[in-house]
Chains A and B, each alone.
Chain A
C-alpha cells in the first residue's frame, strides 16, 4: 500500500497516495480537479504549471507530490478570496494582458509571488522573476504593465 500524504491546497486539507513518481501537477489536475494549473512542457521550462509552495513559486510539473507533504500549496484557484479577485487578477483584466490565456494562471501565480516579495518591482526585476514563464501569444508588454498596476493597487490597499 502506498503511503498517504497530506497537503493543504488553497486552505483545504487533502490526502492522497504518495506514489513516488507522481508530480504535484497531476495530483492537482487529475485528483483535485484544480485544472487552472496547466501542463505546458513537462520540463519546468514554460511556467504554465506554476503554483506556490509555502508562498514560493514552484514548477508543479517538476515537483514530486510526495515531497510536498505537510506543505501549503496555493494554486490560481486560491488567489480569489471570497469572490474578490487578487489585485493582479484585476490588473490582468484592466490591462487586457492575455490572448489565448493558457499561460495566464501561471503568469498570475508567478507575478503574485513576486509582488509578495517585492511590492514595487521595476521592469528588470519583473523580467528576472518571470523569465521562466512563456506566453506564446507574446503579451509580455501587457503582463509587465499588469504587474506594475497591481503593485500600485496593493500600495493603495495598504495605505
Chain B
C-alpha cells in the first residue's frame, strides 16, 4: 500500500551520482565480503536519489551494505538512527536471522554521512518496513557466499582470502519466511543496554573533543525579531571568549559552560519584533478561530466519494461537531545538542538528529560548502518523537566553531528546546455526518484545518464522503510529531463515531462493527474489547468506558479506556487496554515497549499537554509550567499484540499513540454525559503536581 505523503515530512534528498566501485569499499573496509543492498525502485524514487558513503557516491540506489571480515566480524552500514525506538536491535536481529550469525558478532554503523549510505531520515515508522527487508536481502546474499557450515565452524580467514563485492537483489531474493524465524520474532534484549544503565553511553551532550569550547546563542525575547544593534565588547574582553554576530545570529563560545553563560549575559543587543508576523499577533486564546479563518481551500479531495448532500438526505439523524487540538511540544529529555569541528574547509558535526543527511545538507547550505565536505555523525540519542528533524544546534555550533577556530559544543537549555524547536501543529476539525435507521453511516464530511492530512481518510465503509485538509496561516513553528496528524484526525473521527453511536442509540463497539468490513481492523477492536471485558463488565459510579480504533502506516490499533470522573477533580484514567497489529512481529518485547510508551506519551497530549503562547512568546517553556506524564499519571496498562506472521512487518513507533485520546474522551462521555471536543481534554489540570518533598535538593 502506498502511504499518503505528509506535508510536514516531505524532504527531498540530493541526487549526486559519482563513480563507485570495489576499490572504495575495500580500501575502507579491508577485504572480506561486502554485500551492497539496493533500495526497492519505489523507495529509491521516494528518496529522490541516493549517495554512497566513504566520501563517494553510488551508481544505483543503495539502501545499506554489509561487511564480513576475516575474523567473522559483521559490520552493517545503514543511514537509520537510534533514538530509543530500538532500531539498532531490530536491524541486528534481521541480519543475524539471515546470516545465521550470533547477534553479538554484528555491529551496526548508523547515521554517519561519511560511512553509511544516504537515508532520508528515521521517521514515518519506516525502519521496519524498509530497512529490515534491505538488510535481510543483504545478509541472505552474504550467506550464500559462505560455506554451508554453522557460523562458528566457518573459517573466515580462508573466506577472506578471496575478497568479494556483490550486490544483493533489489526486490526478491531468498529470505526466511516468518514461520522459520529463530532470531527475528524473539525478544532479543536492547543492544548497548549495559552502557545505558551504567551511564557510560556518550550522548552528544556528553561528548568532549580536544580543545572544545562551549557555545551559547543569544535569543530575542520574541519570535520573528531582527537584531538591530549589538555590542559584544564586554564579552570579547573576557579571557578565551569568542563572540560572533552574523546577521540575526549572535552567540559566544567560551572554555567552560559557566564562562559561556557569563559571556552571554554581558552581550548588549536590541531586537525589533515584526508586528506583522502571525506569531506576534496571535495567542493561544484566538488560535483556533485564527486557524479556521485563514484556512485555504482544500489541498486534495481524493477522499471525495458519492454525494454528501444525498447521503445527508438519506439520513435518519444528522450530526455536526467541531474539534480542536492544541500545540504540543516533543520535549525530548535530551535537548538538542551538537559538537562541531572544522578542519580547514571540512566540517564534522556530531548531533542528535533523526535526519543526519538532511542536517548535512543544511550545513552545506549554511556555510556555502559542498556536501562532501560535511560529515554528520549521529550518536544514539536521547529521543526525538519526530522533533529532531532539523539541524539548529549543528549550524549554531559550526558557526561558533568557525569563528573560534576550535571545536564548539552547544546543548540547548530546556527553555530553548521548548521555545526554538518546533511543535506538533494545532488544528481545528469540523465533521458533519448522517446515520440511517439501520445504524449505517450515510454521509461523512471532514475538514481538517492546519493539523495535517495523515490518516484523514475514514476506515469505515461510507458511500458518501468528502474529506479535506486545509492548510492555514499558522503562528508557531510546526513540524513532525510522532504519528503526525493521525492523532488529531483519529481524535475527531473516533469521538464523532461515538457521538453518532449515541445518537443512533447503538452500543459504540457494535456501531463501529456495523460500519466496517476490514477484518484486520475488526480483529484489533475485538482483541482490545475482549481483554478489557467490554460489554461484560459494568462501570461503577462515576466511571466510564470508552473505545476507539484506528489505522495508519499499515498498522491497526484499538484502545479501551476506563476513566473515573469525580466532581471537582480531574478525570483519572484508571486502565487502558490497547491492541496492536503491525504484521509479523520482529521483536515482541520491544514492540510492547513501543506500544506502552506511546500509550503513556499519548496520555499527555490527551489530558493536559498544551503550549501556551502570546505576543510572540512561549508562556510555558519549562517542565514546571508544561506538564508531561509522570509516574502518578500511570493507569493500569495492558497491551495485546496481534501477530500476523503472514503479513510483512510494519513500523510501530507512531500508530499506537492515535487511539488514546479518543478512547479517553469517549470514556469521559460515558461517565458524565459531557462531550469534550478539545485536546487536551482537561485543560485545567495544574501545570506542576510534582511533590517536592520526596527527592528535593539539599
Asked if B692 and A132 sit within 8 Å, CB to CB, the answer is yes
Asked if B596 and A101 sit within 8 Å, CB to CB, the answer is no
Which among A46, A89, A96, A140 is the interface contact of B623 at CB below 8 angstroms? A46
Asked if B631 and A36 sit within 8 Å, CB to CB, the answer is no
Which B residues are in CB contact (< 8 Å) with A92?
193, 197
* A85-B198, A102-B203, A134-B623 known; A44-B697 Cβ under 8 A: yes
A-contact 0/1 string along B659-688, CB 8 Å cutoff: 000000000000000000000000000001
| Bound-complex Cα distance A56 to B697 (A) | 9
Interface size on B, residues (CB 8 A): 66
Which among A47, A96, A129 is the interface contact of B589 at CB below 8 angstroms? A96
Q: Is A137 on the interface with B (CB-CB < 8 A)?
A: yes
B-contact 0/1 string along A16-34, CB 8 Å cutoff: 0001011000100110011
Q: Is A148 on the interface with B (CB-CB < 8 A)?
A: no
* A30-B257, A63-B697 known; A138-B601 Cβ under 8 A: yes
Closest partner residue, chain A, to B200 (CB atom) = A36
> Which of B51-59, B270-278, B326-334 forms contacts with chain A?
B326-334
Measured between C-beta atoms, what is the minimum distance from A126 to chain B in Å? 7
A-contact 0/1 string along B340-376, CB 8 Å cutoff: 0000000000000000000000000000000000000
Which among B201, B331, B381, B692 is the interface contact of A136 at CB below 8 angstroms? B331
Asked if A138 and B629 sit within 8 Å, CB to CB, the answer is yes
| Bound-complex Cα distance A58 to B333 (A) | 18
Main SS at interface, chain A: loop
* A43-B624, A100-B333, A144-B631 known; A129-B199 Cβ under 8 A: no
Q: Which residues between 26 and 82 of chain A lie within 8 Å of chain B, taking CB atoms?
A: 26, 29-30, 33-48, 50, 53, 56-59, 62-63, 67-68, 75-77, 79-80
Closest partner residue, chain A, to B207 (CB atom) = A35
> Which of B82-90, B136-144, B491-499 forms contacts with chain A?
B82-90
Which A residues are in CB contact (< 8 Å) with B692?
44, 132
Which among A40, A63, A77, A132 is the interface contact of B333 at CB below 8 angstroms? A40
Asked if B698 and A45 sit within 8 Å, CB to CB, the answer is no
Which A residues are in CB contact (< 8 Å) with B694?
128-132
26 contacts between A and B (CB under 8 A): A38-B203, A38-B205, A43-B414, A43-B623, A44-B697, A56-B698, A58-B695, A59-B697, A93-B193, A100-B381, A105-B199, A127-B634, A130-B694, A131-B631, A132-B630, A132-B695, A134-B623, A136-B383, A136-B601, A138-B597, A138-B600, A139-B596, A140-B630, A141-B596, A141-B634, A142-B596
Chain B residues in the interface with A (C-beta under 8 A): 83-86, 187, 189-190, 193-194, 196-203, 205-206, 208, 256-258, 330-335, 380-383, 385, 411, 413-414, 589-590, 593-594, 596-601, 622-624, 628-632, 634, 637, 688, 690-692, 694-698
Known: A62-B697, A85-B194, A136-B331. 15 other contacts (CB 8 A): A36-B199, A36-B200, A44-B697, A46-B414, A93-B194, A100-B84, A100-B382, A105-B199, A127-B631, A130-B695, A132-B630, A132-B692, A134-B630, A136-B628, A137-B597
